[in-house]
Amino acid sequence: MKVRNPEQISIPASNTTKDPGLTHSQIIRMVNLVKKTENMNIFEELWETLRNLFRSDKHSQTAARQILKDAFYFQNCDDYSKYFTGAVDEKARDRFTHRLKKFNELKEHAKDPEMMQARGSISPDNMLCVSFYIGNIEIYTQKLQLGISPSTGGIDLSNAYLSGISLNGACLRKADLSNAEMDKISLCSSNLLGADLHGAKMNNAKVISSDLSDTNLSDTDMSDTDLDDTLLRNAKMDNTILNNAYMEDTNVRGINLSKADLSGQDSAKLRSRGAIID
């Protein structure tokens, strides 16, 4: 497996070289506003600073303003109890999930969604940190303390909401990611050796040059996921959905794909590369 530095991998969602459309002084002002006490005057200032990031039509402007307001005041909240089973604090879980979801909703109305990024990291003491960026400027960081999974012995990210974030280079050995929502996640050059991803959703994800050896991928939806140059040695893939997943340079030798959904795949080619297909 060719090991690549995650910073050298070309991923559109992580491109920070473009102009975010705001002046430096506007961005600094916005960062300062986010850090202040939440009140209506500050929100209005924040919105006036941010509104040019979003499409100018009335629908997009109205929707983006309401989404930002919901995130800023932590209002109009859904029930987030199904997410992050391993979270130590329920209120922290709700805020974390709410703001990440709202950030993803805001991107849908952005003129250039690539300018809005959520970059994550995991500390040795199982603290999940996600920082929101506009261009290469960090706007806000939130943290969530997670426990240890009794089933895997690793960090408990079961039922986690991680859609759209970049966790490139993460060490997730023996992590419990069962039933996690990870659509459009980027896990390039990450170590997931022995992790449990049973039932996870990973549509349109990027898992390039990563180690998924000994993982449980049963019932995982990996449709349209890029698995280029990724190790799957001894991975369990019963009912794994690989519909249109990119596996051109994936090491599939000895991998049992007999029970996987290979829609959109060239089964004969996978078999010729050593995959076990009945």
Q: What is the pLDDT of residues 204-218, one digit of tens each?
A: 999 999 999 999 999
Identify the residue with better confidence: 112 or 28. Answer: 112
In the prediction, which pLDDT does 243 show? 94
In the prediction, which pLDDT does 33 show? 57
In the structure, what pLDDT confidence band is assigned to residue 17 with cuts at 50, 70 and 90? very low
User: Over 60: is that where the pLDDT of 153 sits?
Assistant: yes
User: Over 50: is that where the pLDDT of 152 sits?
Assistant: yes
User: Over 70: is that where the pLDDT of 115 sits?
Assistant: yes
Domain with CATH 2.160.20.80 in the chain: 148-278
Chain position carrying tokens 């990024």: 117
User: Over 60: is that where the pLDDT of 12 sits?
Assistant: no
CA torsion, ordered 204, 206, 211, 215, to nearest 10 deg? -20
Residue 41: partners with Cβ closer than 8 Å, 6 or more residues away: none
In the prediction, which pLDDT does 5 show? 44
End-to-end CA distance of the chain: 26
Q: Which of 116, 124, 100, 145 is nearest to 27 (CA)?
A: 116
Q: Please state the rounded mean pLDDT for residues 243-254.
A: 91
Does the 148-278 domain belong in CATH 3.40.50.720?
no
The CA–CA distances, whole Å, from 85 to 109, 124, 126, 142, 149 equal 30, 19, 14, 18, 10
Instruction: Write down the pTM of the prediction.
Output: 0.84
Residue 274: partners with Cβ closer than 8 Å, 6 or more residues away: 252, 253, 254, 255
* Interval 38-82: pLDDT, tens: 555 678 878 888 888 999 999 999 999 999 888 887 765 788 999
User: Over 90: is that where the pLDDT of 143 sits?
Assistant: yes
In the prediction, which pLDDT does 47 show? 86
